[in-house]
Structure 1
Amino acid sequence: MTSVHEHQPRVGAAPYRAAKGGLGLLTQVMALEPAEYGITVDGRPRRDRHADAGQEDSDPRTESRPGVPRGRPGDAREAVSVIAFLAGPDASYVTGASWAVDGGMLRMGPMAGSHLGSDDWWRP
């Protein structure tokens, strides 16, 4: 599992971004090598980094997250549901894919997301 930052550059974060990008390419290569044997390799959903494990008692739908199109942080259970799908038989033809579990944050561009303090960027 990496993060949305595997695909989006950001000033001052070169080591972190390089590590995430390396994991992404490693997953793609690993998906090619055992494919002929019916082995799939993906299952690296990226989620909003604020979607913390162990949040069973909190409801992210009550929190605001300016800069994320869904307007709230991710719930760890949302990422887990994608992992469960990828581990199941319905995903038997999915391999080398990257799944963004990020509330649309990746679609906003490289510098948007966690640093925004309000929804003014997209709300007239």
Structure 2
Amino acid sequence: MSASSSSNSRTFKLECGCGDEPGLFTSNTDLNPCRRFRRCINTEEQLKCEEVTAVAMAERLKMMEDELLYLKSKVNDLEEPIQVLIKRNIFRNRIVCVSVVLFIVLIFSLGKGKM
């Protein structure tokens, strides 16, 4: 692999929603001092880009909320059969315990009768 092909594989083109290359800026906030970031260099286009991003994020949030509601309903639908199976298992365990106790009592009663 040549050096030029390896360097080309690592590069990627950054492009703003308006089609221009975003500018590189430095943050002055207390939370991220001196952090470098990219944003649109066109202030009017930047506002449009932010609006488009906000709309897209709102749509994505709505889709995620719908997915969450669907998954919650799916969980509720699955909880009922699980409770039924748990009750069946408890009932089955009780029957097995009673059967074992009756078997032991029967063995002891038959054993005492022969003595």
- Give the TM-score normalised by the residue count of structure 1: 0.23
Larger Rg: 2
Q: Which has the higher contact order (CA 8 A, sep 6+)?
A: 1
Indicate the structure with greater helix content.
2
